[in-house]
Each structure stands twice: as structure tokens, then as C-alpha cells.
Chains A and B, each alone.
Chain A
Amino acid sequence: MNRADRIIAASSLRPDLAAIAEMIPPDARVLDIGCGDGSLLEYLVRAKNVDGRGLELSQQNVNHCVARGLSVVQGDADTDLSEYPSGVFDIVILSQTIQATRRPSHVLHELLRIGKRTIVSFPNFGHWRIRLSLLVAGRMPVTKTLGHVWHDTPNIHLCTINDFLVLAHETGAHIEQALALIDNQRTRKMDPAAWGPNLMAEGAIFMLAKA
């Protein structure tokens, strides 16, 4: 694959996934938890030559990934991370999934154990549009990013950026990088402790390591 192909492949990724891909060094050993249809994993394997594995809840997605030539197992982040040995992956990715786990704190513990570094991305429930929607309509917000009604959503543990900072601190995670997702289109470095991102960012991407 030449350089031009790589650029095309990267731009075909969703902006948040492209930002995650940017954070990953070539040839790394990567576990993508909740890898979905394998878009990010396939890009990382092809363009960055990573040794990539996936864990995915939906069997249909798993079968699709394997048919694409990716190494993916069916499994549940809530229950199946304990079987992985400690420190075997350079980077563990949990993209847009932590809010759908039953025990986010346990999952984060496991991520930090399995990977030397952990990338976590999630939608920011502190975004002004969500706050405004709740304030004005008085109902659980349904937005472009979070399109489910409250009684029929996989997102059972939504949080704000500030909430996540508390969890990361409690879990003993050190924040190495923090990116804000703006308008679901671009990312920029943020100071997570500042008040701005928690109001203005639609999502966040953190690179963590055990403190």
C-alpha cells in the first residue's frame, strides 16, 4: 500500500476513529474492544502494520470482521476481559463503548491491566446541547450523537468529561493525552480540567496509562 492509499483510507474513517488511529504507533500490539465492523482495526492492520485483535459483542459483526481477514472473537467487555493476561497489548482501545458497559469502573481497571496504554472515547453528556435539551424540554435528551430514547438504549452509563476524570483518578489512571471532539468532525487537544471542553465537546478521547 503506498502513501496515497493510506491517506485515503484514513480519511474514510469516522473523525473520532481517525484521531484514535493517529495516536497509535506503527507495529504496535493492539486490542480493539467493541471493534464493531472492524473499520478501525482494518485500517490499523493495513496502514500501520499493527498486530491487531478485536473483541466484539455482536456475532454478526465478528463474522464480518473475520471474513475481512481480521482476528476477532465474540465476547463481552463486562465479563471476558479477565481472561487476557496482563500487559500483553501495547494499546487497548475502547471506542464509544464504556457508556454501554455494566461496570465501567471494572472495565477501566481491566483495560489498564491488559494494555500498557489505554485509549477510551465516549460521548460527552455534559455538552451544552444535551444540557439545554434537558433544561428546556424536561425530557431525556435524544441527539444526533445519542439517538436512543431513554428506555431503549445500550448507553446505560453515560457520563460527562468531568465524571470520567473522577473515574480515571479513582482507577489510578494517568492521563497522557486528551482530545475534544468538536461538531463530530474534528478533534483538538484539550485541557480536560478546564470548564470549556465539558460544555463544548461532543465527545472525548483519552490516552491513559497506569499511574
Chain B
Amino acid sequence: MKAPAENRGQVLELGAENPLVLDSGKRLSPFTIAYMTYGTLNAARSNAVLICHALSGDQFVASTHPVTGKPGWWSYAVGPGKPIDTNRFYVICANVVGGCMGTTGPGEIDPATGEPYGLGFPIVTVGDMVRAQAMLLDALGIEQLLCALGGSMGGMQVLQWAASYPDRVYSAMPIATAARHSAQNIAFHEVGRQAIMADPDWKAGDYALAGVKPSKGLAVARMAAHITYLSEAALQRKFGRELHDRNALSFGFDADFQIESYLRHQGMTFVDRFDANSYLYITRAMDYFDLAGDYGGVLAEAFRGTKTRFCLVSFTSDWLFPTSENKRIAHALNAAGANVSFVEIVSDRGHDAFLLEEPELFDTMRGFLGAAASVKGIA
């Protein structure tokens, strides 16, 4: 899985002297973090914006993906003159710990054995991802972020940032997220993991040594997950019962329906750019996420005394990270006396809406980032 460094953006080795101490108690020392930056850090070092990516995302937020050749996953939102304006802000996006795009993860070589970690890689948490990002910021000489923002698992990291490092996050924009993974969310992830582990090519996680990939299992995991990213209404509008490349049912198990062909395509293309073990580890990190759990079960306690400005965003048709979960965070922030905005955007595109061109999301970003920038005197 290890790819040439030039395809992974900028790469730093961290933690040689001060290890990354994981929530599990294990340590990564040293570890590699791969990241991209856009724009220019100002002299006051006050215009840094951290974008946290979701489960299947990576650091290529606004640049062509080195494997797929597709535009960055948030290129609608990030760039010169765009809502996250790289003419004004210094944008950083790093591959998470446990990932497979250059940051240390289960596909990387374990220095202790000289072989890929596989399941020997320690379990990582959202807290660990954020701790690693904080070490990156230390290395880049950035004391405080103007804003941390991200959707889905990216939003979980933003919440964790605000809870763990309140003084380092001037403003935070968690989008389409939750302060805990629900039973339903864990259930879908478990289906995905079981699909990967049921693939004979998974080989108990040691597929790299055998020179194979559990592509079928990972594709099924992606197909199941992809359904959760879309709304029922959007699926019906986009595909209905339309047939795929045929005029009649085949009376067999080919992809008769367009939705089947679409999902198969989503599964097949995903395996080219994502590592199956990384999928196991990152879904686990999301399952373990329960911010209130670290604060005696009271979410407001995670934000007690915070000076961070928050803006929460949800989408009406998102049933994976529904408005109710986002509102729960808003209530906790209110209870903590925090400065909070909450915007619910009408969209029928489900959880995926946060990655798409949603003018109301972009207006919100501009307004929220613009207000933060003007208070901080950023031109």
C-alpha cells in the first residue's frame, strides 16, 4: 500500500521524541502525517483553517486526487474566492491517523517488524486523530486555528478539537455530525466490517503479505455505507425502478436496476483508492466516539467555559447524522453558555449533502468565517 511520497502531498515525521500517546495507552513513535495546505499563512499566523476529513476522505480537499484523478472532495467549498477562501485563509487538511493516504495506518510498515502493521496496528480514536493534528500544528508553528471545520467524522474531530484544545480553536464548524455514534450507525459499520472480514482475501488482515486485496468485501462495505449517505427520496428521484442497459428484467442476478449498477460502481471504484484495514480502523474510531462519555455523561461539560464560537449545520434529509443529533450539540453548547449558531438546511440529498454544492451551506460558511475573520482583523 505504501505509495510514493510525491503523491501524498506534504509529509512530516512526528513523535520521535514525544510519542503520540493513544487513548488505548499504546504509542506511535515516530509516525508520519501526510497533509495538504492551500493559501498563505499570514505574518500573525492567525488565518489558519483546519479542515477535518470524513471516513472515506483524505487530505486532497481541493486538489486532484492522485489515485482517481478526480477533483478534491470539497473543491466546491475550498479555493480562491470560494466560501473557504484560500486567498484569505491558510487551509490545512491532514490524512487521519489510521488512514491510507500517507499518514501512519495499518497499511504502513511497522518499524518493529519491518512488515505492514495489519491488525497489529493499535486501535485509534477520534481523540487520537485530533492529538496527531495538534502535533502537526505544533510543527507548523500554529498556536491557534481561526476555524476548524468538517462534516460527518470530520465534524466529530472538530467537536473533539473544541473540547480538548479550546484555546487553540477560535471558531468551530461541525457539519452533519454527532457527539456520539448511535446504535444504528454502529450497526451499519459492523455490517461493513463483517463484509471485509468475510472476504477470503482479507486473510485476517495480512492480505498485503499475500499480495492480494479483499476488494469484494470492501466494495460491499462501501455499497452498504453508500445507501446510508443518501436519502430515500433522492434514491427514488435519481433511480426509481429504472432498468440498467436493458429493456426487460433478465430473470437473473445481473444488475437489472440502475441503483444496483450504481452501487456496484461505487463499490468497485472505492477499492482502488482505499485500504480495507484502514476502513476497519476508521469505522471503529467513529463507533468509539462519545464525547459526553469522557465528561461524566454530560455533553455540556465538554464545553464548559469555552470561548470558541460554534456554528452547527445539519441537513433535513440526513438520517445518518440527523438534525436531532446536531441539535443535541447546540443545546449542550447553550447550556455551557457558549457562542453558538445552528443552521438546518433543507435538502433532499441526505448525508451526502455536505459534500455537494449547497448554496445555503456556502452562505453560512462565508458568514461564519467572515465574522470570525473580521473579529480577528484578518483582511
Q: Which residues of A come within 8 Å of B, CB atoms? A: 51, 53, 59, 62-63, 65-74, 80, 83-85, 88
Cβ contact within 8 Å between A84 and B334 = yes
Which of B5-13, B192-200, B361-369 binds A?
Answer: B361-369
| Of listed B337, B341, B366, residue having the most chain A CB within 10 A | B341
A/B pair count, beta carbons within 8 Å: 63
Which residues of A lie under 8 Å from residue B366 when comparing CB positions? 67
- The size of the chain B interface, using a CB distance under 8 A, is 25
Classify the secondary structure of A's interface with B. mixed
Which residues of A lie under 8 Å from residue B345 when comparing CB positions? 63
Bound together, the chains give a CA A85 to CA B343 distance in angstroms of 22
Bound together, the chains give a CA A155 to CA B40 distance in angstroms of 53
- Across the interface, B342 reaches (CB within 8 A) one of A51, A62, A68, namely A62
| Of listed B311, B331, B343, residue having the most chain A CB within 10 A | B343
* Min distance, Cβ B341 to any Cβ of chain A, angstroms: 5
Given contacts A67-B366, A70-B371, A83-B331, 17 further A-B contacts (CB under 8 A): A53-B339, A62-B342, A63-B345, A63-B363, A66-B341, A69-B367, A69-B368, A69-B370, A71-B311, A71-B339, A73-B340, A73-B342, A74-B342, A74-B344, A84-B337, A85-B337, A88-B337
Bound together, the chains give a CA A135 to CA B103 distance in angstroms of 78
* Min distance, Cβ B371 to any Cβ of chain A, angstroms: 3
- Across the interface, B367 reaches (CB within 8 A) one of A53, A67, A85, namely A67
Cβ contact within 8 Å between B344 and A67 = no
Cβ contact within 8 Å between A67 and B342 = no
* Min distance, Cβ B262 to any Cβ of chain A, angstroms: 31
Which residues of A lie under 8 Å from residue B336 when comparing CB positions? 85
Q: A73-B330, A83-B331, A84-B334 are in contact. Are A66 and B343 (CB under 8 A)?
A: yes
* Min distance, Cβ B211 to any Cβ of chain A, angstroms: 52
Cβ contact within 8 Å between A73 and B341 = yes
| Of listed A62, A65, A67, residue having the most chain B CB within 10 A | A67
Bound together, the chains give a CA A74 to CA B314 distance in angstroms of 12
B360 within 8 Å of A (CB atoms): yes
Bound together, the chains give a CA A166 to CA B344 distance in angstroms of 39
Which residues of A lie under 8 Å from residue B342 when comparing CB positions? 62, 72-74
Bound together, the chains give a CA A67 to CA B343 distance in angstroms of 10
Which residues of B lie under 8 Å from residue A53 when comparing CB positions? 339-340
